[in-house]
Structure 1
Amino acid sequence: MSARAERVTRCLRCGRVLRSTRSLNAGYGPTCRAKVRAAAKAAVLAQYKAHQVEKAQELIDQGALIPLRGHRVFLAVSTDGSVTYRAHRAACTCPAGIKGRHACKHQIAAHILGLAA
């Protein structure tokens, strides 16, 4: 395998090539990571409980949400990594999202990422 055949990792938000180890681990470049964190603190998120936002932020930090359609629909990976769900700020296909009584952590994470786009 030649040096040019290396795997290229791109930012999950803007699509730019990631080079630093920190960015590669996070899935976001420094500017996009700052925008995502700022969006998490936005006044819109005041509608969610603090522990829900914290869990959603953990998902984002782990790179567990992958954009599918223009930062509106995301592929969310379950905690154990065995199942994937489709998440939007209004709905999610996870068991908690299907019940629909409260927003699940995937929906909140999708909302945060949507605000950062």
Structure 2
Amino acid sequence: MRATKVTEAEPIRCLKCHRRLRNPSFDGLGPKCRRKVFRASRAPQLAAQYKSDLVDKAIDLLEMGGLIPLRDTGKNAVFLAVSSDGTTAYRTARAACTCPAGLKAKHMCCHRIAAHVVELAA
């Protein structure tokens, strides 16, 4: 009988604070970070700054785990945002987004608003 070496998988970590998660979550956030993001998404400054339907789309994006951090450098964090139909991913930050609405820059896109919410939750 041959002995096989059992290797442990990498621990699952929170996408925001990088703490080890005991239970995997659908959005990649731990319970404390999820509460912080939820509170930040209800901030009155978001309602005053952006259209309510875009804020709702940004919250949906966050709740579904569609905003994945690529590089975290404080206020200039870069994320990968999944499109609403799930077929395309865009690079986004609070300052810019590569989605069609972000490239036209006529209106703020929901990806940038979601990045703003994560920034407020810090």
TM-score between the two structures when normalised by the length of structure 2: 0.83
CA deviation profile, 1:34-74 (whole Å, cap 9, x unmatched): 10011112232121122111110111111111112215211
Find 1:49's aligned residue among 42, 51, 55: 51
SS of residue in 2 equivalent to 1:92: coil
- Matching residue's letter, 2:8: A
Residue 83 (str. 1) matches residue 88 (str. 2): yes
**CA distance in structure 2 between the aligned counterparts of 1:107 and 1:6, rounded to whole angstroms:** 33
**CA distance in structure 2 between the aligned counterparts of 1:103 and 1:90, rounded to whole angstroms:** 10
**CA distance in structure 2 between the aligned counterparts of 1:98 and 1:106, rounded to whole angstroms:** 12
Match of residue 59 from structure 1: 61
In the comparison of the two structures, how many residue pairs are matched? 114
Aligned-pair distance for 1:29? Answer: 1.0
Unaligned runs of 5+ in 1: none
Match of residue 33 from structure 2: 32
- Matching residue's letter, 1:56: A
Asked if 1 retains the 8 angstrom alpha-carbon contact of 2:28 and 2:65, the reply is: yes
Following TM superposition, the consecutive aligned residue runs of length 4 or more in structure 1 with deviations greater than 4 angstroms are none
RMSD, matched Cα: 1.7
- Matching residue's letter, 1:107: R
- Matching residue's letter, 1:85: Y
Moved more, 78-87 or 94-103: 78-87
Unaligned runs of 5+ in 2: none
Aligned-pair distance for 1:100? Answer: 0.8
Match of residue 101 from structure 2: 96
Asked if 1 retains the 8 angstrom alpha-carbon contact of 2:27 and 2:66, the reply is: no
- Matching residue's letter, 1:32: C
TM-score between the two structures when normalised by the length of structure 1: 0.86
**Bigger radius of gyration, 1 or 2?**
2
SS of residue in 1 equivalent to 2:26: helix
- Matching residue's letter, 2:15: L
Match of residue 21 from structure 2: 18
